[in-house]
Structure 1
Amino acid sequence: MLNSFLEKKIKNKLDLLSTLHSKNTVSIDEVLNSVKVSKISLISLINEMNIDFDGLAFIENSHSYISLSKYDNVDFFRLSHTIYKNSIVLRCLKFLILNDDEISFFSFIDSEFITKSVAYRIRTKCKCYLNAIGLDIKNNRVYGDVKWNL
């Protein structure tokens, strides 16, 4: 359920990782059909993921196929966690959940180097997700029965 609230780029990266995980080598046409992005966007995703996966895995992109090479002791969950770490929506949720001191939302905005309008759109996504699981935001903090809902 949480995945539906994440950024489109994060969802695309996760879809690409899932496709490559199911088959180590996949044709570009098959990837384009499963991930539903343009070829240029796919190349951009691959380049970004290779930077994210530095030391963990490498995605090789040839003219007709794409393959995933994982380094020693690296599994799917570690790679997906690497992608999730780049989600600003998840970082905002973390801020709201751990904000026991009711720190101003502007400190989150400053730490992420984002504009106020972007930050409040992200906060709205977080609020929608939290409302869907029976929680709410008050004074930049998650309220409700957090223990059972998260």
Structure 2
Amino acid sequence: MLTNYIEKDIKRKCLICDFLLKNKHTNLDEMAEYMGTSRVTVRSDIHALNEELDGLISIQMKESADDWIYQCQLQYGASERQVLYKLYDNSMFLKCLAFFVTNVEEHKFTDFMDEYFISHSHAYRLKHKVEEFLRDIDLSLENNRITGVEQELGRKVKVHETMFNSTRELNEVLAEIDEPTIVLCHPNCEMELKEAVQVTVIPVSLAFFDRDLIDVENAIQSLRRKEHEKRLAYLRG
């Protein structure tokens, strides 16, 4: 659901990175067909990616017998997850959503405009987009704060940064986890972990960019329902 609202160029760049990292040698026609867009658009995105992700990845073009081949390599120990975060960090929609999620002191919306130096028209287009997204999940905005039947979007959810590869590794830290937690796991053991661990721990695979966002949404949604009463008590207090 969230991915429906993120800027198309950012989602497209994420898909290009994913495709290039999974296909070590590919050409422009293959990428354009995969993306459902033109060669010109793909070429422009690749040029932008080399600038935006400098130090994280390197996309090189090499001449072959009958075409130009593209190769993509992670740099300086960077991970695919870091590439994803860097790209989505450019999303003004996510920045706007984050402003409302964290706006516990009811700052004015003009503070958001001033922070990112954007025009009123641009800012209010973003705000309307956020409101549309919130309506989809039965929430709304009031005094620049998120409210609704389930006022839990702003609740702190712990994310364990370790990448788990087995149930054994996860069990070693379960004793220390006493709050709802999202853990990251290798895609090959995602289902095993989901069946093996307690309900307060939600494994999220990092196999594919767009699907990961949906998984995280679903995870937070389930956590939100579970602690609904606690959050209401906090808000009323």
1:145 and 2:149 equivalent?
Answer: no
Unpaired runs of 5+ residues, structure 2, are 156-219, 225-237
1:58 and 2:58 equivalent?
Answer: yes
Paired amino acid for 1:29: D
Pick from 126, 129, 134: which aligns with 1:125? Answer: 129
Runs of 4+ in 1 over 3 A off after TM superposition: 147-150
Superposition map of 1:103-122 within 5 A: 103-122=107-126
Q: Which has the higher helix share?
A: 1
User: Per-residue CA shift, 1:48-102, capped at 9, x if unaligned?
Assistant: 2112211111111346222211113222111111101000011101111111111
Task: Tell me which structure has the larger Cα radius of gyration.
Answer: 2
Paired residues in the alignment total 150
1:86 and 2:93 equivalent?
Answer: no
Give secondary structure in 1 for the equivalent of 2:37: coil
| In 2, Cα distance between equivalents of 1:5 and 1:65 | 32
Contact 1:5/1:129 (CA < 8 Å) preserved in 2? yes
1:69 and 2:73 equivalent?
Answer: yes
Unpaired runs of 5+ residues, structure 1, are none
User: Per-residue CA shift, 1:34-59, capped at 9, x if unaligned?
Assistant: 12232222222112211221111111
Identity of aligned residues (%): 29
1:99 and 2:99 equivalent?
Answer: no
User: Per-residue CA shift, 1:92-140, capped at 9, x if unaligned?
Assistant: 0111111111111111112222221111111111112222222211111
Q: Quick one: higher RCO (CA 8 Å, sep 6+), 1 or 2? A: 1
Contact 2:10/2:88 (CA < 8 Å) preserved in 1? yes
| In 1, Cα distance between equivalents of 2:141 and 2:25 | 44
Q: TM-score normalized by structure 1? A: 0.90
